Chain A
Amino acid sequence: MSSLKSTPDSKDYWRSLDRLLESPAVREAVGEGAENEFPAGASDAPGGVDRRSMLTLMGASFALAGLEGCRRPVETIVPYVSAPEYVVPGIPKRYATTLPAGAGAHGVVVESHEGRPTKIEGNELHPSSLGAANTWTQAEILNLFDPDRSTSVQRRAAGETAHRPSSWKFFDAFLAERRPELEANGGEGLAVLSGTYSSPTLARLATKLASRFPKSRWVVYEPFGDDNVFAGCEMAAGRPCRPVYHLEHARKILALDADILHTESESLAAARGFAAGRKAATPDDDMNRLYVVESALSLTGSVADHRVRLRSREIGAFATALARELGVEAAAGEATWPDAVDAKLKLLAADLAASTGEALVVAGRRQPPAVHALALAMNQALGALGRTVTLHDLEDAGTGDSQAVADLVGGMREGAVTTLLILGGNPVYTMPADLDFGAALASVEHTIHLSGYLDETSQQVAWHLPETHFLEAWGDARAAGGSPSVVQPLIAPLHGGRSAVEVLDRLFGDTPDAARSGYDVVRETWLEVLGAGDFERKWRRVLHDGVATDEVLGDRAPAAGRAEGAPTIRVGESPAAGPGAMDDSSGAGAGSDTLELTFHPSLATWDGRFANNAWLQELPDALTKITWDNAALISPATAEQFDLASGDLVTLGYRDRTLDVPVFVLPGQADGSVALALGYGRTAAGRVGDGVGVNAYLLRHSAAPDFDGGLSLTKIKGSYELCQTQEHWDMEGRDLVREATLAAGFAGEKLDPEKSHQLFPSHDYSQGPQWGLAIDLGSCIGCNACVVACQSENNIPVVGKEQVGRGREMHWLRIDRYFSGTPDDPEVAFQPVPCMHCENAPCEQVCPVAATVHDRDGLNAMVYNRCIGTRYCSNNCPYKVRRFNFFNYTKDTPELMKMAMNPDVTVRSRGVMEKCTYCVQRISEARIAGKRQGREIADGEIKTACQQTCPTEAIVFGDIRDPESEVSRWKASDRDYVLLGELNNRPRTSYLARVRNPNPEWV
């Protein structure tokens, strides 16, 4: 068909390196053409004990029910004994609360069914989330109901090898016994180790600790903290501060090794601001331009208009040269790089300078403080301070300090620390290997670890205390801009745990035990935060909104960044100016031509804390599409140099340690740089996370925790199977992702449906609301938040690595990732693919039992209990969005996990086909509410789960019969197109072509 390649600039997309190279393995795996649509083995039963079976073992409670066999289960009605006000069974309520996130906070709204939290969404009033939620935040609901959570205090007495169950009573008695001694010696030998926090209550308790026990110390360690950012800010502005970026005001953005849209702090607000600057409706509209200089391909690099590949070690020098180009007095050592990079640097500087006042330079947390100071100096030179970047005080925050951590570990070894209280975290696992925290722990007399799991650290301490989940306890946190908010619990602690606030408060022994709860402690703090006048009303307002707005705070609102004038950035006098400043990053005498190793948080498990979360483990990595594993990422050129292919095993040697890992060849990776994700290879995570992937912390060194040269790489015998969701459902060479550039315009050809063939008569779609969805590829950053939202909302099962390897993953919404250009320096495009809800649905015509049919609102509905599992529909679906329950994945759901299920959605059984429903339960909810109130459903009232959580607002849902609805306006755009339109399926889901804004002078 002639209109196939109708986009203004068609590109040749390739889905993976293997695809590009047409390797035999791919031919064999996917078959050629239509004769073998599914990968080999996709119809085989699983063999051996796979991860699925291990999940199955969890269901002891359900095994009892199985005794009754084929008899109808007995159901009992259990009403409230004393029913609470405003709870109607079956109608969910929503509570605003806060997820503390390092030195910031994510405001969330949690759906509660009869007092049980079931889904986490963003809080639209909170400045750091703006209604969106990322993958990790949403997956917290699964952590809450994790059956592997610690359920009791565990104690290991001196001389014993194993822990024994104990109780809070004994721990309180232990504290009471220790307290007089500590009070007598001023807290000599007492140390508290926590993660980064930004909490008024924790800060107040830390101050109290310092005054009550003046010789005690509080040390903060965070595997991926913003310590470099804060140090750089202090270096430049002369006082401790943090930059907050306002991408919505920026026209030119440069990210230096900074994944500002996903893994850096405040990424949700940054993504929203970035997308706001890219919603061009016509070629005449304004659009921002994003430059990224980085070593490992990140999501930000993927959506950049221009990306420069540089090793992380070279980025400091690049920043210095750029700063000089922009007129910042910054001397630094000479760097050598190809002329092409130099030319790009000059173009970059010119383009940034052309948008003075509307440009922004951001450095990543991986880069040393000097680079952050340089970035601030560049921002000042570009007139960005106070406009696209504001500096804020670090209020109520505890931030990391590597020297203090080293001192603490030294003190522990020497016996200077006698009582160590570890509040959360898992330092035995997450500390750099050279510190050997586990061994140091053995020299401390009294060790206490507050933790949600009996993890690697808990196993080595005398007292393990079960920590509450953030949805179970009171607390508070400050957002990056300083706005405070309260963490309000959604449910009473499931396992009788205590929060960090409660444990600390009891340390002082001021009040009889059990008399004070976290609620009282937090309210005491907030009497100061809000002021005593009219406290009760303000407090309720804060709980309701989920954030203390400036209106509530009045003159107590956070001061920094609002009216403050630009501080003097004195980078010329700062250590950044010294030539040695950049050498800090390059580690122990490593030559510039040696291989570089960079450490990254896992996009699934972060620093390892989400290792036992099956949703995240099965979530395909945004770029590699690997599930259930990590791998050393290398560029195609590096792979060629070492004769490596994806899945080969290598030994990485760094300093005096070695690690065997599989490699994965990722286009776009900087040559000579190896990227390794931390957070895998846990040994005490739980049934899901144990033994998944390789523990890269074993290579991390405290002298260069983020990146360093001097890496050796040796290919070893053998290979490892990395399970990806990549090679399935290949859509051979059609223009699925359409792109345009702002300059060239984007009026694409549209198909005329009247001219197309149609085998069956159309349905009548002239009445009632007709639902449709539009996805803006120009805004999509591939962050996977929608995939987790869909999984959480729609009770989608997890199938395990082996099943993923057979192409049986169940995600209703997948994100396809396409590369174009050269393998070394590709351009990347993301495309979320849910069910298209075709008006002429091919799946419906082949179902022998009418299990998939159209409803009058235009939804392609699935009738689960009619389905007999022929899978004809899946075969006939051109988009491959249908998912089949090959096994009874939910049969042995543990009792706790049942609580994480959405009560409004069917939990499917074996032999049933399923797929995206456009969140039909939400449509029904709105329809019923509208009917009760005697009104029509308003546009925007129904938000699908994916739309609701999207950080960039790339998805819109609504009634396409209403020409005024948002979705109709999107679909009327010139950029609108449908997938495989020539088939005349008339999909209700359509896409807006991606628009790039390249620099016309770019080389």
Chain B
Amino acid sequence: MRTKLLALVAVLVVATGCWRGATSPRPPWHPNPNMDNQPKYRPQAASAFFYDGATMRLPVEGTVARGELHEDTAFYTGLDERGQLVAQIPIEVDDALLERGRERYGIYCAPCHHQRGNGKGVLWDRAQIQSADLHEERLRSAPDGQIFDVITNGLGLMSGYKYPIPPADRWAIVAYVRRLQSEAGS
């Protein structure tokens, strides 16, 4: 009788959900697998095979993918055939490009370099770390290719942005930075 009573209490405890809301360090129950987790490598997933634990691998150095011939080195790297930084933006600068540049600058550059390009973005507000002032004379006189190169590969504390910003957008930012500089100068 007593065991039956205890069993009834136990059932009631469970049935009324006394553990509802309790925390557990373990992942939740998932009784129906439903092909939610498949034996295939997905982007940005973990791998038990590679030493760095990532499914994503770097393309082998020196290989050229289809559609990435990029013979126009000035456009894709900011360097001319002799390996020198190009002086001029290799594409035509028009209002659409400048508008695109303004938008991209606002997303990627302004947090550090500030909307006006004075190098006192949010990083300065929070931690008094100044980024490069785009109105400095050395940057005003730098070739366009150098600004492109710094966006691509980074410099000092700044990391490279070649991954999130495609080359056309990088040139748009370069064009917009030039506009900022000339406006400040006038």
Chain A residues proximal to chain B, CB less than 8 Å: 61-62, 68, 70-81, 83-87, 89-90, 93-96, 109, 112-116, 488-492, 494, 519, 537, 540-541, 543-544, 795, 864-865, 890-891, 893, 895-899, 901-903, 906-909, 912
Contact = CB atoms under 8 A, between A and B. Distances in A.
Contacts of A62: 39
A22 B28 CA distance: 59
A94 B69 CA distance: 12
B63 A86 contact: no
B185 interface: no
Nearest to B39: A893
Interface in B155-186: 162-164
A73 B37 CA distance: 7
B27 A865 contact: no
B161 to A, nearest CB: 10
A89 B164 CA distance: 11
Contacts of B45: 75-78
Contacts of B56: 78-80, 87, 89, 114-116
B131 to A, nearest CB: 21
A488 B28 contact: no
A903 B63 CA distance: 23
B16 interface: no
B107 to A, nearest CB: 17
B34 interface: yes
Contacts of B29: 70-72
Contact of B40 (A85, A87, A865, A898): A898
B40 A901 contact: yes
B46 to A, nearest CB: 4
A145 to B, nearest CB: 10
Interface string B79-114: 000000000000000000000000000000000000
Contacts of B47: 78, 895
Contact of A896 (B27, B43, B49): B49
A902 B162 CA distance: 27
A115 B59 contact: yes
Given A540-B71, A906-B35, A909-B35, A901 B30 contact: no
A898 B46 CA distance: 12
User: What are the 5 tightest A-B residue pairs by CB atom distance, in nearest-first order?
Assistant: A115-B57, A89-B43, A901-B40, A83-B163, A893-B39
B26 to A, nearest CB: 6
A96 B30 contact: no
8 contacts: A68-B27, A75-B45, A84-B58, A94-B67, A540-B70, A544-B66, A899-B55, A903-B43
B64 A543 contact: yes
Contacts of A537: 71
A885 B40 CA distance: 18
Nearest to A62: B39
Given A115-B59, A865-B35, A78 B65 contact: no
B31 interface: yes
B60 A491 contact: yes
A89 B62 CA distance: 20
Contacts of A81: 52
Contacts of A895: 47-49
Contact of A908 (B26, B35, B66, B162): B35
A544 B69 contact: yes
Contacts of A901: 38-41
B64 A80 contact: no
B41 A899 contact: yes
Given A490-B60, A540-B71, A898 B41 contact: yes
A87 B59 contact: yes
A70 B67 CA distance: 45
Nearest to A520: B62
Nearest to B63: A488
Given A61-B48, A77-B44, A71 B63 contact: no
Nearest to B60: A489
A895 to B, nearest CB: 5
A492 B57 contact: yes
Given A71-B28, A895-B49, A84 B66 contact: no
* Most chain B CB inside 10 Å of its own CB: which residue of A76, A78, A79: A78
Contacts of A80: 54, 56, 58, 163
B66 A116 contact: no
A370 B116 CA distance: 84
B2 interface: no
Contacts of B59: 84, 87, 93, 112, 115
Given A78-B54, A488-B64, A544-B68, 19 more contacts: A62-B39, A75-B46, A76-B45, A77-B44, A78-B45, A89-B44, A95-B63, A95-B65, A115-B59, A116-B55, A116-B57, A492-B57, A494-B49, A541-B69, A541-B71, A543-B64, A901-B40, A903-B40, A906-B35
A89 B43 CA distance: 6
Given A85-B162, A489-B63, A79 B40 contact: no
A919 B134 CA distance: 51
Contacts of B70: 540
Contacts of B41: 113, 116, 898-899, 901, 903
B64 A544 contact: yes
Contacts of A864: 35
Contacts of A96: 66
A90 B63 CA distance: 20
A719 B8 CA distance: 64
A68 B30 CA distance: 10
Nearest to B24: A71
Nearest to B42: A903
Contacts of A898: 39-41
Given A71-B26, A112-B59, A907-B35, A94 B65 contact: yes
A666 B54 CA distance: 51
B53 interface: yes
B21 interface: no
A41 B47 CA distance: 39
A864 B38 CA distance: 13
B38 A906 contact: yes
A834 B105 CA distance: 51
Given A72-B27, A540-B69, A84 B163 contact: yes
A181 to B, nearest CB: 36
A72 B57 CA distance: 26
A78 B64 contact: no
Contact of B65 (A83, A86, A519): A86
A61 B48 CA distance: 8
B30 A71 contact: yes
Interface in B2-17: none
Contacts of B52: 81
A891 B33 CA distance: 11
Contacts of B55: 78, 114, 116, 899
Contact of A543 (B43, B48, B49, B63): B63
Contacts of B28: 71-72
A488 B61 CA distance: 10
Contacts of B38: 890, 901, 906-907
A758 to B, nearest CB: 35
A79 B69 contact: no
A85 B48 contact: no
A537 B69 CA distance: 9
Contact of B62 (A79, A90, A519): A519
A902 B43 CA distance: 11
Contacts of B163: 80, 83-85, 87
Nearest to B76: A85
B40 A491 contact: no
Nearest to B81: A537
Contacts of A85: 152, 162-163
A78 B68 CA distance: 26
* Most chain A CB inside 10 Å of its own CB: which residue of B52, B63, B164: B63
Contacts of A112: 59, 65
Given A71-B26, A112-B65, A488-B63, A78 B40 contact: no
Contacts of B62: 488, 519, 543
B30 A70 contact: yes
